[in-house]
Structure 1
Amino acid sequence: MGIEGRDKQKIMEAGALALSGQLGVTVQRLRKAYNLSLSELSQQSGVAKSIISQIERNETNPTLATIWRLAQALDVSIERVLQTTADDPFLEKTSKAETPILVSDDGKCRLAIIGWIKTVEWLQCYEFSADSGGVLESEAHQRGSVESLSVREGELEVEVAGAKSSVKAGETLRYRCDRPHIIRNRGVAPARATMVCIMKAAAME
């Protein structure tokens, strides 16, 4: 199981919950700054004209994928598209009940998505927990991606392309995650860790 495929789609859809109410105003301002009509922005982004119009009027909650396409078409970073004003304080809290949880196929591993939903395309952060015997199998992320696993409790084993390494409480293991990789809890006690995945896009900014 990884953050690709259906799990990634779930996260992108959940991104709508985190969007600022200023998104529509920001998109409209940037579109007009580039002297683009709704039709022209639609052609460049691949987002339907009617959807862009609804976004600008704050009549819809677009997915992160839609915002990403608009940001690419407007040639600006997604942070700018989502930004309100530079002087506004930023405080955003997610409750435990609102934190999305992904579960491994064997039901013994859990990934709580604690990273900012708006940065999922280049930075992903999780609280990882695994019961004894738990196995998390992940698909390859985009080429050049690196994962960092900091164990807080217990001991985990990471396997990447046949190479294996164990990591204990207080230790951090970094490894390429642009190929299938597996995390196992071979111990008798539960294990907990913080996982950060840095996608290639982040290194290219």
Structure 2
Amino acid sequence: MEINQIIAHNVKFYRLKAGLNISQLAEAAGISKSMLSQIEGGTTNPTINTIWKICAGLNIPYTLLLEDSDLNKPTIIQKSKILQQHSADGHYRIFNYFPQSVHRRFELFQMELDPHSQYKSVGHSSNSEEYVMVIAGTLWITVNNQKNLLKKDDTIFFNPTNPHIYSNETNVIAKAVIINNYY
């Protein structure tokens, strides 16, 4: 199944589960009703930030909207078979290895950020913590207007509710593991 169809199915499922109509969810998520209708209809592939906004409006983890039933079955997960998402400019990519589920209260991603690029996250769930470990290159993460330098094998954790920025100011790709822990 294509990613926009998975997202369409899951947005409608969780919207109905929350007892919301399209207008109520659009208002809670801070997006237009027409955009939400297109997403639920599977006619558009929403941006990463739009998905975060919908998740905030539904008060659910990000990966619940991306979860296809087949992702929960494999023991070995190959990167080549994972749903990849990217920013509008294509310089920021995330790979969802472990979506949050009834068995897990966390999401695990691998993130890649191209040289001389940045990605601005709109912020997400107030009931979570974000953990980041750099596995290749160098990454700057700005949280609450504080710029933090992380080199290979360095980690940081923070409250991801507010907007935060990932920056790569070097000539090599930066890679990191990101865990969103929900409580």
Match runs of 1:1-205 below 5 Å? 1-2=48-49, 4-5=52-53, 11-18=63-70, 92-118=75-101, 122-199=105-182, 202=183
Residues 156 and 183 in structure 1, CA contact (< 8 A), matched pair in contact too: yes
Q: Percent identity at matched positions? A: 19
Q: TM-score, normalised by structure 2?
A: 0.60
2:42 matched residue in structure 1: none
Look up the equivalent residue of 1:125 and give its one-letter code: L
What residue identity is the alignment partner of 1:171? Answer: D
**Could you give the per-residue CA deviations for residues 48-104 of structure 1, whole angstroms, max 9, x where no partner exists?**
xxxxxxxxxxxxxxxxxxxxxxxxxxxxxxxxxxxxxxxxxx863444343111102
How big is the shift at 1:147? 0.9
SS of equivalent to 1:178: coil
Counterpart of 2:16? none
Contact 1:104–1:135, Cα closer than 8 Å, also in 2: no
Larger Rg: 1
Greater Cα offset, 110-119 or 91-100:
91-100
* Per-residue deviation, residues 30-50 of structure 1 (Å, max 9, x unmatched): xxxxxxxxxxxxxxxxxxxxx
Distance (Å, rounded) in 2 between the aligned partners of 1:155 and 1:13? 30
Instruction: Return the offset for 1:121.
Output: 8.6
Question: Does structure 2 retain, via aligned residues, the 8 Å contact 1:106–1:134?
Answer: no
Distance 1:130-1:106 versus aligned 2 partners, 3 A rule: same
TM-superposed deviation, 1:144 = 4.2
More strand by share: 2
Note the aligned Cα RMSD (angstroms): 3.0
Q: 1:116, CA displacement in angstroms?
A: 3.3
Q: Which runs of 5 or more residues in structure 2 are unaligned? A: 1-47
Could you tell me which runs of 5 or more consecutive residues in structure 1 were left unpaired when the two chains were aligned.
21-89
Report the Cα distance in structure 1 between the residues aligned to 2:129 and 2:62, rounded to whole angstroms: 22
User: So what's the TM-score if we normalise by structure 1?
Assistant: 0.54
Question: How many Å separate the matches in 1 of 2:131 and 2:66?
Answer: 24
* Count of aligned pairs: 131
